[in-house]
Amino acid sequence: DAAVVPPEEVRKVAKWFQQTVTKFGASAAVAEGPQDPALRPVAEEVIKAFTAGVGTLLSLRRGAGRCLREELREAGSGLAEATSKLGAAVGTEDMAVAAGKALDRTRHFERISVHNRAAARRRVLMGLAQVRDANRELSEVLRRSDAEAAGDAAGLASDDEDGDLDLDDFDQEDLEPHERRLIEAVYSAACGVEEALKQASQLCMPRASGSPS
């Protein structure tokens, strides 16, 4: 799964665009409005760097699978939108914000996948992160439910002794038995999905030279 465009070439184009955006932002800050002739050569450099970025994305699209095509589409649209807003912000108070967003999109561009395997693995890892977050939340719900169930008797005794009632307790309703069974089933299934995503991520790793296909 060789890259059509080497990663170092992508970084080179990203660095060029970053430098031109930074220079344009600094020039626009002291320009006498959007029609200032001094801005034209700097703006042309931004356009050239943007064009090089688009050309890089189009080159990467050759032979790209679904995951890579979607990633390239997102990178291209984000870069185009940021560049457009950068030009429109000249002479306004939004110039610094627009320049910052353009630089942020440049960082996204610099990290794009350069072949299908990398794009697929990135998609899998994103899904894995979401599943892990969901598992963590489900586990916390079950743990809190167990703790509340174990502390019911002690809590009632404490209320009788103190005579005070913590109103915050009403914000945390105990799980009904059917709700707990549902959460446990979902948690078990999600753990299986997480393990499958881990294995898929490993399969997307680059193969060592000489290893069987």
Cα dihedral 66→72→76→77 (10° resolution): 40
Are 5 and 56 contacting, i.e. CB atoms less than 8 angstroms apart? Answer: yes
In the Cβ-directed half-sphere of 83, how many Cα atoms lie within 13 Å?
22
Give Dmax (Cα) for the chain.
Answer: 81
Q: How far apart are CA 101 and CA 78, in angstroms?
A: 10
Cα dihedral 151→156→160→164 (10° resolution): 80
Distance set, CA 112 to CA 14, 51, 59, 108, 186 (Å): 11, 17, 13, 6, 33
Determine the pLDDT at residue 13.
Answer: 96
Least confident of 6-10, 36-40, 99-103, 188-192: 188-192
Q: How far apart are CA 65 and CA 115, in angstroms?
A: 9
**Token pair for 62:** 């050759």
Residue 205 has pLDDT above 90, yes or no: no
Residue 98 has pLDDT above 50, yes or no: yes
170 or 95, greater pLDDT: 95
Residue 17 has pLDDT above 70, yes or no: yes
The model's pLDDT over 47-87, given as tens digits with 9 standing for 90+, comes to 999 999 999 999 999 888 888 999 999 999 999 999 999 99
Determine the pLDDT at residue 149.
Answer: 66
Are 79 and 67 contacting, i.e. CB atoms less than 8 angstroms apart? Answer: no
Q: Across residues 164-183, what is the average pLDDT?
A: 56
Mean per-residue pLDDT over the chain, rounded: 81
Determine the pLDDT at residue 15.
Answer: 96
Cα 179 versus chain centre, distance? 32
Q: How far apart are CA 37 and CA 21, in angstroms?
A: 17
64 or 203, greater pLDDT: 64
* Selection from 131-145, 157-171, 190-204 with the highest mean pLDDT: 131-145
Determine the pLDDT at residue 152.
Answer: 56
Count of C-beta atoms within a 10 Å radius of residue 82: 23
The model's pLDDT over 110-139, given as tens digits with 9 standing for 90+, comes to 999 998 888 888 888 888 888 888 888 878
Q: Across residues 24-52, what is the average pLDDT?
A: 91
Q: How far apart are CA 63 and CA 61, in angstroms?
A: 6
Q: How far apart are CA 115 and CA 167, in angstroms?
A: 56
By residue count, the chain amounts to 213
